[in-house]
Amino acid sequence: AAAIRGGASMVHGVQMRNAAEKLSF
């Protein structure tokens, strides 16, 4: 369960980062 949560949070972090980059542009 911990590994799944870690992977989900990691993917979510990447998505948020991509969204932030799009907003910056």
**pLDDT tens digits, 1-25:** 567 777 778 888 888 888 888 887 6
Which residue in 16, 14, 15, 12 sits closest to 4, CA to CA? 12
How many CA atoms lie within 13 Å of 8's alpha carbon, on the beta-carbon side? Answer: 5
Give the predicted TM-score (pTM) of the model.
0.45
pLDDT given at position 19: 86
